[in-house]
Amino acid sequence: MARTLLLDLDGTLVDTVPDLAAALNRLMASRDLPPFGYAETAGMVGDGVARLVEKAFAARGRTPDATAIAVFSADYATHAAVESRLYPGVETTLMSLTDEGWRLAVCTNKPEGAARSLLEALGLARFMAAVGGGDSFPVRKPDPAHMTATLLAAGGVAERAVMAGDHANDVVAARGAGLPCIFAAWGYGPESMAEGAAAVARNVVEMAEIARRLVP
């Protein structure tokens, strides 16, 4: 059975905050609310689109109006790959793992359509055996069933799989699904979120090296 590496997307493979912040700030401007900077936006990423919008409005002392989430989603979907960039070493590392026979899959709380569009725009779609988005299944991270369903879609098994991500949701979901988790320290989550992870990686190349050791 081939080895499988499940990967978070935002903050693990791609720095998506520039485009998330731009779409969020267009939404804020349309509601006469102050904008957010990079760090503020990064701190709100990881729980999906609805929670991002809810957190943003809460930070401004408001609750989202009835159309806010839909407006943000539609805007972001068409501007998801304007300024978003791969983290250093992502493409070459994924190519190497694929050449070694690994199955790769994305498990993200981002809507599946936006995730696929982003992966395609940045040249990563060709590496992925499956994409499990935040709306692909009835549940999403930190529910381990999200990870289990993505793993199944990729044709992998838990005994030969590992997860990598930059958020506590990744660690919790992986443990619940019976997978070791590599915490991506270069991403958006503070390192305190790494509690319970099998290892902490400082960059994408190190992540792959750890994955090879965890699933020999």
Per-residue pLDDT of the chain (216 residues; tens, 9 = 90+): 899 999 999 999 999 999 999 999 999 999 999 999 999 999 999 999 999 999 999 999 999 999 999 999 999 999 999 999 999 999 999 999 999 999 999 999 999 999 999 999 999 999 999 999 999 999 999 999 999 999 999 999 999 999 999 999 999 999 999 999 999 999 999 999 999 999 999 999 999 999 999 999
> Given this model, what pLDDT does residue 35 score?
98
Read off the tokens for 27.
Answer: 């939404």
Q: Look at residue 163 in the predicted model and tell me its pLDDT.
A: 98
Whole-number pLDDT of residue 86: 98
Catalytic residue among 8, 10, 15, 166: 8
Rg, Å, the chain Cα set: 17
- Characterise 168 by phi-psi region: left (phi > 0), alpha (psi -120 to 50), beta (else): alpha
pLDDT of residue 24: 97
> Given the DSSP bridges, would you call strands 199-201 and 181-184 parallel, antiparallel or unpaired?
parallel
Closest among 207, 200, 131, 209 to 171, alpha carbons compared = 200
Show the tokens assigned to 23: 């779409």
CB 26 within 8 A of CB 169: no
Distance (Å, rounded) from C-alpha 95 to C-alpha 126? 10
Instruction: Enumerate the β-bridge partners of residue 182.
Output: 164, 199
Residue 1 pLDDT: 83
Q: What residue ranges define each of the domains in the chain, with the CATH number in brackets?
A: 4-15+84-214 (3.40.50.1000), 17-78 (1.10.150.240)
pLDDT at position 8: 98
- Residue 159, classified by CB atoms within 10 Å of its CB into exposed (0-12), middle (13-18) or buried (19+), is exposed
65 in catalytic set = no
Question: 143 by DSSP, 3-state: which?
Answer: coil
Centroid of chain to Cα 19: 14
Q: Indicate the angle between helix axes 49-59 and 68-78, nearest 10 degrees.
A: 120
